[in-house]
Amino acid sequence: MKRKYWLMLMTLGLLLSVLVACSGGDSEKTTGSDDSSSGEEAATTEGEKVLSFTNPEVIPTMDPSLATDESSFVYLAATMEGLYRLDENAQPVDGIATDHEVSDDGLTWTFTLREDAVWSNGDPVTAHDFVYAWQRAVNPETGSEYGPYMMNGVIKNATAVSSGEAPVEDLGVTAKDDYTLVVELENPTPYFETLTTFGTFFPLNQSFVEEKGSSFATSSDNLLANGPYTISNWESTSNSWELVKNENYWDAETVQMDKITFEVVKDPQTAVRLYEEGTVDRIDLTSDLVDQYGTNEDYVVSPQTFVYFLKFNQETSDALANENIRAAISRAFNKEALVNEILNNGSIVANGLVPAEFSPMPETGEDFREVSGDLVTYDLEAAQEYWEKGLEEIGKETVELEFLADDDETTKTLVEYIANQLSTNLEGLTVKIKQVPKEQRLDLDTNMDYELQLTRWGPDFLDPLTFMNLWITDGGNNLMGYSNPEYDKLIEETSTTYATDNAARYENFLKAEKILFEDAAIAPVYQASRAQLISPRVEGVFVNPFGATYEYKWADVSSTE
């Protein structure tokens, strides 16, 4: 992904006022390789076009109402389609919608749907499928995190519905007829077209979902596709699966791949062996492997907009309920050493929440991160001063914390480094690491069953709000007991009072971000880059700056192979 190119697009106003989410950009490109055997085994099967990739974990869910993580959204985007889809430049192009109109007041969006889109069982995709899916996502009985997060304050009555104060039928989305969808918004939302590309807004076939009941989205047999691919040989615990071309997709002639296979590989050395054997066409590299393969012709570094940070659960730990203790931990580990020596993959230090080269200021075009500045840096002297104050305030000489994180090898090295730094630099602190599979960590996070946690966030739409609204009081993604009324007010005003005043909105974001770190609500760690080996046979796989990380609709095998 060429991040500066993306920033230039935004600065030019091609995506004016768009709110951001998880990732988008240009095609993965690699230089040619002299190793003609690379990828040869994965190239074709009986004349088929096949690519093979690794995945770092099992897919947590294929239910668009329940998805919250990178892997789930990647495979949902491959098998499903919303009103619009992001193209290679992260611009919305026709999906199930072919056109839309917006009322003069910006509050009513009317989408015209195509009549040639069908589900993989042959049922037509209609406006009713969108109404059902969106209602399901904010229905409190569903238990969706992303439904309220994405729709509250955006779709009319979403907040009342998600809190159980209004019936789902009051949500501002209706089917005027089978192929006309009408959406009413709470406030003018110029980025709403891009928002509809996100997985939470995908349609669902109501009769199929209700027929499957609790089995829905637990296996290939319990899923329907309306996108470029179907998923096969998949169950909720599967360590491998396949994306197979969906012949019923309305734009099937554009889809060039017959099949894309995936295998969960957590061990970096195993991944390298598979790549060198030609069994897989793309792998992620850990820091030690970057040193070994950094000069390889297939080596690619892709800057990302994911920001990693520590969450402090103020409800399960008396120590972490103390602001000075949190401030001490935030400053007590060397982030420069972490990105340069531990990660060694192009990642950069994060000293705030909103990532660098992501969102320009509306009037000057300056990068938001540069304007907001470094809000939390490694400062051992300050950390120890905060620590002593915190210990005195809680009346303890020692503190023990459980540190929750994913169980992949890269994360293991990372959390061991952070834990060692904290224990060494803060006298009396003991950190016990708890590494679990990602799906389990997400469950523990949802249940607030943790103390200290390493997690990350990637933007879901193109605007600082995608990061800043995580921490509003009782927000669906807060899940750490943080609350600040002034912060809440500033964020609310960006979607209400200043909804059409982008300059004022960004001033509020700047103020709110400073409050977040004055409160030591979280501790920023780093902004990710991804170091990979990518076979030159891979074409047309786009890396998004928000939403699903990878777009596979236009994937192809190089004609030179």
Average predicted confidence (pLDDT) for the chain: 90
d(CA 73, CA 262): 15
328 φψ region: left (φ > 0), alpha (ψ -120 to 50), beta (else): alpha
Name the band, by pLDDT with cuts 50, 70 and 90, for residue 189: confident
CA angle 465, 471, 473 (to 5 degrees): 120
> What is the mean predicted confidence (pLDDT) over 533-555?
94
> What is the mean predicted confidence (pLDDT) over 256-262?
98
The confidence score (pLDDT) of residue 483 equals: 98
> What is the mean predicted confidence (pLDDT) over 156-165?
96
d(CA 133, CA 308): 30
CB atoms within 10 A of CB 188: 15
CB atoms within 10 A of CB 541: 23
DSSP string, 129-183: HHHHHHHHHH-TTT--SHHHHHHTTTBTTHHHHHTTSS-GGGSSEEEEETTEEEE
Q: How far is residue 252 from each of residues 256, 409, 554, measured CA to CA in Å?
A: 8, 38, 11
395, pLDDT greater than 80: yes
- And the tokens for 181? 């969808």
Which residue intervals of 240-294 are DSSP H helices? 268-277, 287-293
d(CA 219, CA 210): 15
**Residue 90 vs residue 20, higher pLDDT:** 90
For residue 547, how many C-alpha atoms fall within 13 Å in the half-sphere facing its CB? 34
Report the run of H or E that residue 98 belongs to, with start and end.
strand 97-102
> What is the mean predicted confidence (pLDDT) over 469-476?
92
* Phi, psi for 296 (deg, rounded to 5): -65, 140
Give Cβ neighbours of residue 519 (< 8 Å, ≥ 6 apart): 323, 482, 484, 487
482, pLDDT greater than 70: yes
Q: Which amino acid is at 367?
A: D
Strand 240-245 relative to strand 229-232, pairing: antiparallel
Name the band, by pLDDT with cuts 50, 70 and 90, for residue 94: very high
pLDDT in tens, 324-344: 999 999 999 999 999 999 998
Name the band, by pLDDT with cuts 50, 70 and 90, for residue 8: very low
User: Of 38-42, 62-66, 184-188, 484-488, where does mean pLDDT reach its minimum?
Assistant: 38-42
Do residues 533 and 282 make contact, with C-beta atoms less than 8 angstroms apart?
yes
**Residue 323 vs residue 8, higher pLDDT:** 323
**Residue 304 vs residue 482, higher pLDDT:** 482
13, pLDDT greater than 80: no
Length of the chain: 561
* Phi, psi for 5 (deg, rounded to 5): -65, -40
Give Cβ neighbours of residue 266 (< 8 Å, ≥ 6 apart): 56, 57, 407, 408, 409
The confidence score (pLDDT) of residue 46 equals: 60
Strand 259-264 relative to strand 282-284, pairing: unpaired
